[in-house]
Amino acid sequence: HGLDGVPGVGAVGGLGGQGGGGMQPQMYHEQVGVAMQYAQEPMGMEQMEGFDWEAEREDQKRILLPLRRPVSSFFMPADLAASFEQQNRLLVARLQPEDREFYRLPITIDHERYHSLWPLPETFDATPVSYSSHCYKVTSTKDGFHYVLRRVMGNHSEKYASKAIAPWIRIHKLANGCHPNIVAVRTVFESQDFDEGKCLCFVYDYHPGAVPVAVQCQILESKRGLPVRCVAPEHMIWSYFQQLISAVVSVHSQGLAALNINIFRVLVESNRLRINFCGLNEALRLVPGNLSTEELQFQDIQDICRLIMTIACRTLILDAQTERRAYEVMKHSYSGELCGILKFVLFTRHDTQKIPTAWDVQSLAWHRMVDEVQQAYTHIDYLENQLLKEHQNGRLFSLIAKLGFINERPEFKNNPKWSETGDRYLVKLLRDFIFHSVSEDGRPQIDLGHVVNSLNKLDAASPEKTLLTSRNQDSMLVVSYKELNRCVRAAFDELREAAETPSASSG
């Protein structure tokens, strides 16, 4: 079998998330019977016109090969793998000696609690502010996780800032560690490790790959003017609205206001929105003192609607004229339900004694939350299926790693032929059988199906027997996978025991 398709692995389990692999005979005959039934029914001229006969032949070929699977079914989709690879590149990014910032930044900060500072781009938070600030990706020496450290220069009180962010930390504790739509703040401390002197440092969770809405939607400060059309699909707008309104409901329930809902401080990653840098305004005493908590919370709801309008029209909402124009444009592209909520929040005069709350606005579109939940569960099923594939891949990689530790080991316990004798010799023959098979004319067989099938039987300790042949063809052994499994475990346990036992010289 070639790499374009591999045989199923039957009852022993498969490498991919689909379990066994090939179809059962009954299922196979039922599918072929269905295909034959369709083939016998005459097609009308309307059906035959534009019919793709080549695609039909390929489908028939796939139906007639019940024990083959495409290689791609063993692994996660390429786009998901590329996303994870990009996140990993961001996580492992480090400054190099040739970088200008390498010698300007401290090696560690906060008594060696954080290290490996990596400057984040200025677009990570382009919100106009009255203070000097820089953001870095850092690594914690305590848990090894990566965080965002926001350094704020100036004379600010650490005690006051710690008290201000305490309610935000409580929100994440109530959400079992972290709210799904709010970037968690972890701590704040005062530092003098930087050349600029005293500063206040805020530590937030780091989400690699997440960028501000302004960057994702390419909405820059220079993109001004009146909106002319809507470019975002309505289902995405509803999803964003539900995520943000859910976040502010959690925030408002604690008597707080987000105050950070704009295109520069709302991060987006794979259609997930997160409000960033919560608690920063309170810690720096930038909250307007002339507004009540209820008015600040209503301002959050208005900011959500303005953000939605900005995403829909790809135009900055900077004044009342732009806001009204965006609303008029959206009325021609989106449902009356969505536009009705925008009108209720932004263009309806409310009594100061009866300001709408986040719960009131959320109740106006409660049935849309059902769609959001369904999409979330669908995505969970998708990710669980991909996780199952990688679990199977990891299980087989564990076997391959054990074979690598055992085979061709130069010396063990002063015995240079340890890997060539006893049970290890069977392990060597098994390795040759799995990876070094050749065809009758001596060509190497690159057959992933054979590898998967053999490793699954080995892992399951199948009683099925296989024929192992030495390289010089002088000896042939018939051994069960159950016996081979015992040989691998015994050899690896011997190596592990020696590795965990301290040598006499070290004692």
Query: For residue 187, what pLDDT is reported?
Result: 94
Of the pLDDT bands very low, low, confident and very high (cuts 50, 70, 90), residue 350 is confident
The per-residue pLDDT for 6 is 44
Q: Which residues contact 472 (CB under 8 A, 6 or more apart)?
A: none
pLDDT score of 202: 97
State pLDDT tens for residues 257-306. Answer: 999 999 999 999 988 999 999 999 999 999 988 889 999 999 999 999 99
Concatenating the DSSP letter of every residue in 256-292 gives ------STTTEEEETTEEEE-STTHHHHTT-S-TTS-
Residue 487's Cα: distance from chain center in Å?
38
Out of 164-173, 185-194, 256-265, pick the least confident. Answer: 164-173
For residue 222, give both structure tokens.
Answer: 């220079």
pLDDT digits (tens, 9 = 90+) for 428-482: 999 999 999 888 888 998 888 889 889 999 999 999 999 999 888 888 999 999 9
- Tell me the average pLDDT across 170-180: 80
Mean confidence (pLDDT) of the chain:
84
* C-alpha Rg value of the chain to the nearest Å: 31
- Is the separation of the CB atoms in 149 and 201 below 8 Å? yes
Q: Which of 10, 12, 4 is nearest to 458 (CA)?
A: 12
The whole-model pTM stands at 0.77
Distances (CA, A) of 85 to 28, 80, 92: 38, 9, 11
pLDDT tens digits for 14-36?
A: 444 433 333 333 433 433 343 33
d(CA 317, CA 337): 21
